[in-house]
Amino acid sequence: MKKIFLFVLVLAVTTLNAQKKQITSEDVWRDYTFIPAMFGGFNSMNDGISYTEVEENGDLAKYELSTGKQTAILVKASELVPEGKTSPIKIEDYSFSDDESKLVIKNEYSPIYRRSGTATNYVFDFKTRKLKELSAKGKQMFATVAPVGNKVAFVRDNNLFVKDLDNAGETQITTDGENNKIKNGWADWVYEEEFSKAEAFFWNADGSKIAFIRYDESKVKEFEMALYKGLYPEQYKFKYPKAGEDNSVLSVHIYDLASKKTVTVDVGKETNIYIPRITWTNDANTLSVQRMNRLQNKLELLFADAKTGSTKVVLTEEAKTYIDISDDLTFLKGNKGFIWSSEKDGFNHLYQYDFSGKLVNQITKGKWDMMEFKGFDESTNMLYYISTEVSATDRDLYAVSLDGKKKTKLSTQKGYTGADFSKSFKYYVSSYSNANTPPVFELHSADGKLIKVLEDNKALRDKLAGYEVTKKEFFTFKTSEGVELNGWMMKPANFDASKKYPVFMFGYGGPGSNECNNSWEILDFPWHNVICSNGYIVVCVDNRGTMGRGREFKHSTYLQLGKLECIDQIEAAKYLGTQSYVDKGRIGFMGWSYGGYLSSLLITKGADYFKANIAVAPVTNWRYYDNIYTERFMRTPQENASGYDDNSPVNFVKSIKGKYLLIHGTADDNVHFQNSMEMNAALVKNNIPFEFMAYPNKNHGISGGMTRLHLFNKMLEFIKRNL
């Protein structure tokens, strides 16, 4: 009787599994079937208890955070008719002035690079209820309302302007802006990409002055790429400083609106430097300037007198390797000092300094990294941050007082917790997920108390229940050098431990990155399920050089990018090969960008362990990549030639034994198509068979239309045929 019952139960489970659908490439890359719902619209207002959201009918509405109830319509769609026009515009993007008296609406946005673009901007005045076009003389960049006063600053044609909303007057602050030569208030390409900041002008606290950076690109070499449009391709040229080459020469200036005079800030006589950040202090006449040397191992914080431009160094930090730039610098009210983050004790932590630059105390401590500084509440003297205290694969939210006491863990579940605080720090919206659970958005009070669930993604969880989905399992192993590495694994849904499976490895591996995260991967998770459904085990391992495990682990790859990363991924392949359910002769690797570089290196230096590798948009020689990123980890080719050459896959193609698929977008402004062309040439020269796919006019993301579907189907077909 028991045997009959067990047979019926097994049959029922088998039938249930058979009824489930398999995830397809089309589900992931065409229909985006598994995109989770997000809590979009958390634009906190100054009262700290409200947020705004654009309604489906085009209205801009105000909501109460604690209840989610709509409390007001701030702007009706019918009011969005610019003066002199008859038709309303739509709110594509928007921002408030600091005092919330104005609304800047961004329309017709045209991206330029990753963080920059032009737009037609409009300003809605809540007092007059009128909507005005900011300027009819051409699109603008970074339109920003003054904190005090009725003025808006913006960049157009590489020059900085101020628009007076009262009299419609437009003042041109700079006049020497010129394409591929001089940029005012807008960072050059390499700054925008590698220092993560495109806007390079800022209002002071009382709206009386604007500080901006001028980039002289005259000596920076141009990079040229073809755009295949029309009968004759267009040639697009832009300034791109490769490793060891000249950078822009920078200067910092302060424009006074009253006197209409510009003061030049003294940043020293050395021009071969970086100015990654300028930030006004709470004192309207004191500008902070972060000055960094070319090697990026010395960072100085300068305070500049806005009236004279004179400066003094208040803080200096030096390292044997490199120093990362962040936006953690936070000034306390009343010139009481500032908060600063640093890895100087071996882990990334927060520190308090007085206004003269004297250390007051180390706020956070421990053998873990502070990953995100979420802000400081002056009213309670509490700071909020996210760290890896639990593990490098998790992220947790904490609160701590300015003196480093009263530390409280606010997150409650194992996985990834993010947080966005209201302006008053009374509330925060948390986003929680783990590797097998889509994100859940909740509203909490500052002490961590749950107020309400905003979005639980039940609809997505229910949808996934109808598909054959495999779970992500985490593991650790030690290499032959005794280095413990984190990894995750996804097995086919019908996994049978008595069988041997091919392994598809996936990775990025670059400095300060992570792929082994206990969080929901929006597109990678369903895509890797597609791979699993075709009979493969999917594995990811974070090699040395990745983040969350302290300075020593992250900086271990200094001066030798690719060496330790390659060793660790080969060790991972060896480890997997010892597992009884793995076919060690059928292990492959796929990576994009730095991951593509690593994949190319593994099919050469790791030829005995990898059967089929895919490299998408790879660096193939660090001499071809930009100088800020490359020199941060490698110094210049002139100083470290062997570091560049010893781990560039273009130099080791003779070692390839397995199958190799090379993919690149021809309009990649980041990792240039040149990298794949050089790899292509080296492979042909040595008569090494390989497969190649180029996507015309596509940038580093290789997307748009059916491009992603085509790309991932191409990779799937290659995997099935060769692995």
User: Averaged over 550-573, what is the pLDDT?
Assistant: 98
At residue 572, what is the residue type?
Answer: A
Q: Which residue has the higher pLDDT, 148 or 263?
A: 263
Give the CA-trace dihedral at 10, 11, 17, 19, to 10 degrees: -160
In this predicted structure, what is the pLDDT of residue 42?
73
CA–CA distance, 525 with 543 (Å, rounded to integer): 20
Lowest mean pLDDT among 14-23, 96-105, 302-311, 335-344: 14-23
CA–CA distance, 44 with 710 (Å, rounded to integer): 40
User: Averaged over 248-273, what is the pLDDT?
Assistant: 98
Question: Would you place residue 441 in the very low, low, confident or very high pLDDT band (cuts 50, 70, 90)?
Answer: very high
CA–CA distance, 214 with 182 (Å, rounded to integer): 7
In this predicted structure, what is the pLDDT of residue 18?
58
Q: Which residue has the higher pLDDT, 6 or 449?
A: 449
In this predicted structure, what is the pLDDT of residue 68?
86
In this predicted structure, what is the pLDDT of residue 148?
86
In this predicted structure, what is the pLDDT of residue 167?
87
Q: Which residue has the higher pLDDT, 146 or 168?
A: 146
Number of other CB atoms surrounding residue 366 within 10 Å: 13
Q: Can you name the residues that pair with 128 across neighbouring β-strands?
A: none
- Share the mean pLDDT of the chain: 95
In this predicted structure, what is the pLDDT of residue 41?
62
Whose CA is closest to 328, among 378, 380, 384? 384
Q: What percent of the chain has pLDDT over 90?
A: 94
In this predicted structure, what is the pLDDT of residue 17?
53
Please report which helix (H) or strand (E) contains residue 537, including its range.
Answer: strand 537-542
Q: What is the pLDDT of residues 209-243, one digit of tens each?
A: 999 999 999 999 999 999 999 999 999 999 999 99
Q: Is it the case that residue 479 has pLDDT exceeding 70?
A: yes
Q: Please give the domain boundaries of the chain with CATH numbers for all domains.
A: 173-318 (no CATH), 328-434+437-466 (2.120.10.30), 471-722 (3.40.50.1820)
- HSE-CB of 353 using CA atoms within 13 angstroms: 18
Q: What is the pLDDT of residues 641-699, one digit of tens each?
A: 999 999 999 999 999 999 999 999 999 999 999 999 999 999 999 999 999 999 999 99
In this predicted structure, what is the pLDDT of residue 12?
44
Q: Is it the case that residue 16 has pLDDT exceeding 70?
A: no
Lowest mean pLDDT among 43-52, 189-198, 353-362, 497-506: 43-52
